[in-house]
A and B are shown apart, each in its own frame.
Chain A
């Protein structure tokens, strides 16, 4: 079993009458040097085989290689399947509707089957997800993961059909999504990844697909605890403003809450390997008087009804302004990172609809925030969409010509965050 720790960073001091409590909870899980726990794992690889995957031909051939690389990364004993996604979902391997158990023999047979993938048909992502759910049936105690690749819009089902599929699949497995080329919709794939607690990224060049698939499969094999939840206890009369994952990327979890008894709610976090994630918790409590100390929230990491680790978020009311006005660097940093992601998405949306003033202002703000926080990856992506006159003030001009790939890369990666820089 992995070891979890929760560290809380906050300024617990509030001025008299104040009620908003902010804290960053850093959750770290380690295997303690041991081999990852021998958890049951199940992996379904869904590869888009719609007709467009054949234009250019390099897309489908790169996809075949990428799926083969992912198959090679599966540990012996992992149950797996490869599904071809078009306007329906068809089995590639095994040839019948079930999971195969990974071994040298099955991996070789699966790779052989993948060589026969042919581009033909449409795109209906909801039906692919339902197929994965069906294949995972009966594996309640397994860590279930899907790798999903698409190259186009979800044309062959309605948005409502996709939403219904997401509702049906939510919480049963996690899904990392990749878009190859530039003919797919960032917002659509982001919605799928967010609902399925997975990542989303763009692979502009099909040649990069193989390395990315191998990395995703390896990361999936590194997961040792499935279905981890963040359980939040709050005092009577408190209201949760938001719970956001803020590292490695920004994801608002507020709406994912399931109440589990009085003053307690669960937020699903998906599967964990050896990794670290940060969460920003913001709670309004009943204000205390100077000298009072309150537990504003207790953050527990829970898996299989067991509490793995806990952190305390406190509120202490003081009339010492030197204490209450102190800004916690972690809270400030991640508040900025969340604003950065939002500014990029709003700026790109404004740019798409031709509102250049808003686009310039929002992307300028994003440039400023990225520079201040040392988020160089996002700053570089911004530099491909705007000409930067002064990063300190966020003075920018929209580039007149921006490639689709650059715009989509900025959009998909806008929520990637960095940690607080070292002091001084």
Chain B
């Protein structure tokens, strides 16, 4: 009897111990870091932006691991906002080795989750040379340390702008072709063209009904609805408000006369059935699916938000021949207002970047990996792929692709099994370090032209343009504060301005769609205005203005030196 009892106790005891040790093992593996695997270090990374995960046995990733001695398992945002994902990580207190917090970066900083990098940077030449001293200084937080490395918009050699990687009124080339490539510069002309086209061609070639104009309004992506008034008035993309380049004053674009005209136009078009009735209830995936069928004639969006999935889908389905690709138009509210949809030059986003977290056990190893990723050999692998497989080299050393290769690299399965861009690690754009080639295929002048779908080539030619950028024109960066959204992204509910900003966003998300759908526009607009005032937008503007002044002052001081 005794013995039996003892055995039972023993069994239960071991079970409990087993569970406990299982727990502790689990945590160790989570907060993991470089566990050696055949000499190759394994790191983890989380990027608080949507992305496509690649296969574990990805070929180029393996190749890069052989060169650098490290591999990173990347995970991306799915079905959450950046703040939610980051907030959950903070609440748990365990982080991946690398992180890009996107909109949640300031939360990570506040939580003390990031490792200060400034003591290390000098030891890694490729990282050090990624920015100038002034740029590194701009990245210092209020405690004087540098916590993240912005990954993008950093041109090596000269800038090679071919795509308008920003927001615009986009339109399918078939619409422009049908109308004989007219000059379209105002919002009224744009919608008029779409209306006329839709009346003449209500369906696609296979009989699918066109959707004349759709508006993405899902979560944070509702910028496709709300920030057009800023651009229509001819200001550059400061994001959350207008900063007047003349007076250096912050202006709210949500209630301007232009805003009213823009929403009134949308309201009219909604009633006419031009605006997709599902605009405000569709989710991002549904929106991308719609665009991928080639049914949507036009929309406002950021190029990076749609081109990857949509252009590849159009190519794979042969819809390029029907003229379903999108080009940007230089739209403003009235003739004579100069458009600033595109700004040239590198805009440093000081608000977020790649960070290393306090859970990383091998900070030096992680930084060495980032450093190696910036070497010429690896950059070429990341951007172009494998030589003779994903690109060919002509006798002058210029890289190019054949139509077969282009078709192959736009295939989703191939992208997952073969290509490995490590796209949220710092990356040079502009020129390659060999001095001959552009950093990326889409920036290589001959490759860019050859890879353009025929309908886009034709369209650009008709307008006398060589690139997407030529369609909307180049503009200088308006001033040293630009873009101010990098500051607004760091505002939190700790200040009245930050709270106001969150309330404004939430309110606009509900009321602006209502305004567009309102049977009586004037009444709907009045309702919106009075509700908007309750958010106390002035508190928000009052907190942005000092930051604009501060940035101008820093730039002036640096110039004086």
Q: Do A and B come together as binding partners?
A: no
